[in-house]
Amino acid sequence: MTLRDKINAALKGAMKAKETDRLSTLRLINAAIKDRDIAARGAGEEGLVPDEIVLAILGKMVKQRQESARAYDEAGRIELAEKERAEIAVIEEFLPRQLNEAETEAAVSQAIAETGAASIRDMGRVMAALKARYTGRMDFGRVGPLVRDRLG
């Protein structure tokens, strides 16, 4: 079962259970995926985007909502921040388990060793290797400085 199928099954379940908040978040996910499908067709690609791209879309959606929740918290809009966090919880159901700190450091060390990176100039190759293997499983905003420290 593809990730897209899991999302559609969850959407149907939310409709039957009349879970309006969950349903609206699942519809937002589907809309984002369909937008990417349309953009891919415009670029000449055939068919539907693969699960790796869907994972990237979901990761981006989580990051956007985390930033919004932080902004709402700072502005004292607690109810809106909670709504964003509820959307994050629904989106994260479809993401693979996030790597913990030790697993992330081990993955960075492994990527540096595999790419033969020796200086900061090799950071792009290390990040590309990590993104190819761990998309949706680690926060690359936090990993970038870790790689920079190891190579610097």
Model pLDDT for residues 67-87, shown as the tens digit of each residue = 999 999 999 999 999 999 999
Domain with residue 10: its CATH number is 1.10.1510.10
The answer to whether residues 129 and 111 touch, using CB atoms and an 8 Å cutoff, is yes
Question: Same domain for 136 and 79?
Answer: no
Count helices and strands in the chain by DSSP H and E runs: 7, 0
Report how many domains make up the chain. 2
**Averaged pLDDT for residues 118-123:** 88
Question: Same domain for 31 and 83?
Answer: yes
Question: Same domain for 28 and 58?
Answer: yes
Question: Same domain for 54 and 108?
Answer: no
Give the global pTM.
0.74
Label residue 116 left, alpha or beta by phi (over 0 means left) and psi (-120 to 50 means alpha): left
